[in-house]
Amino acid sequence: MADLATRFGEIFGPGEPVRVVRGPGRVNLIGEHTDYNGGFVMPMALEAAVRLALVPHDEPTVTLWSEQFAERASFQLGGEPPADPPHWLRYPMAVAEVLAEEGVALRGFRAVLDGDVPVGSGLSSSAAYEVASALAFLVAAKVEIAAGPAKVAAEAHGLSTERLAVLCQSAEHRVGVRCGIMDQFISLHGRKGHAIVLDCRDLSYEPVPLPSDRAKVVIIDSGVRRKLTSGAYNERRSQCEEGAGRLRKFDSDIEQLRDVSIEVFQAHESALPQIVRRRCRHVVTENARVIQSIEALGSGDLERFGKLLDASHDSLRDDYEVSGPELDLLVRIARGTEGVLGSRLTGAGFGGCTVSLVRPDAVETLREAVLARYQEQSGYEPRIWTSEAADGAAVEV
Ligand code: GLA
């Protein structure tokens, strides 16, 4: 990935000045399945990212070479979509569509696409890809945009990064998942050394410093892959909407589950069908856990923060039912390891990764415990790494 500009020359021929843009993946620390309920989330951007090395040209064609798939594919801007595009081409196609509808003048380009965010692992490779694609379009259309944070490129087109996040989210909706705003937002607004607390209703946000000298963020990939588009995600979302709709009868100010306190939920939960009740209980309590996590981090109480992560997982497993035997096993191994403060699944669930908060001197012990037990018991090979919180998307070159 290091020298994507050189790869551009190898694939498309040398000689032209190459621009490089980057959209990072993310890990969500807490606040799962709260975003599309108007609630709070606390993700951080990762060092792992999707990058595009591009050279604009005057034809209205976008041609991409994917390093991962060793495949070339093209589409016309504003033209008929290709008959059967590879799945990976659908993302930049959708991004081009939403940007054009927003009034952004688009210009064609050729680009090499590469990334090290594992696909389908709950670390938002698709949001990273949408954001990187959006930056590629912004830079291609205005080559005078200097290297720097995404904000500069967005503002050169009269857009805010908040708006750009919303546009990338609608691109994702067109590809198939009715996702919330968290992933695209954090990919654009990440801050080195910090998590971000985002209010998904009004998109106000606050960086929260992470004390990496006292606790590391350890990500463990279960190796289990399940496509979000399988419908389970969209089904959860509808169940939440149904719950909010039923609770509105008791209080007309309830628009989304974000507006339901634990007390109000408890007073009226018996009016909800069984499954909807459990889904709502997760969202309402998870939202409260994010608020408590802000307090815990603010007062340096990492033990308390860790317990909130544990409670989040249990709620996702029992009430939201988006965990699975492999994620549960990883969480159990982590919780049984001295120096692990808390552990939970991260992202949508149904496979993917766990995130654990770990005392620095216990990271190795956790790694050994996982290597000793996980594959033998689950049949899947785990991947374990730590990541510092990284900056959000940028034009790198
Ligand atoms: C996926 C979606 C997000 C969010 C999470 C669950 O990552 O893209 O919007 O809903 O799942 O918290």
Per-residue pLDDT tens for 324-376?
Answer: 999 999 999 999 999 999 999 999 999 999 999 999 999 999 999 999 999 99
User: Measuring from each residue's beta carbon to the nearest atom of ligand 1, which residues come in under 6 Å?
Assistant: 28, 32-33, 35-36, 124, 179-180, 182-183, 347-348
Give 160-208 pLDDT, tens digit per residue: 999 999 999 999 999 978 899 999 999 999 999 999 999 999 999 999 9
Which of the following is catalytic: 183, 221, 310, 319? 183
Delineate the domains of the chain, giving CATH numbers in brackets: 4-209+390-395 (3.30.230.10)
Cα separation, 396 vs 4, whole angstroms: 11
pLDDT digits (tens, 9 = 90+) for 71-90: 999 999 998 999 999 999 99
The number of beta carbons lying within 10 Å of the beta carbon of residue 253 is 6
Cα of 281 vs centre of ligand 1, distance in Å, is 18
Residue 15 has a pLDDT of: 85
Catalytic residue list contains 183: yes
d(C-alpha 326, C-alpha 74), whole Å: 38
Q: Is the pLDDT reported for residue 229 higher than 90?
A: no
Q: Give the distance (Å) from ligand 1 centre to CA of residue 347.
A: 6
Which pLDDT does position 227 carry in this prediction? 64
Per-residue confidence band for 226, with pLDDT thresholds at 50, 70 and 90: confident
User: What pLDDT, in 10s, does the model give residues 315-328?
Assistant: 999 999 999 999 99
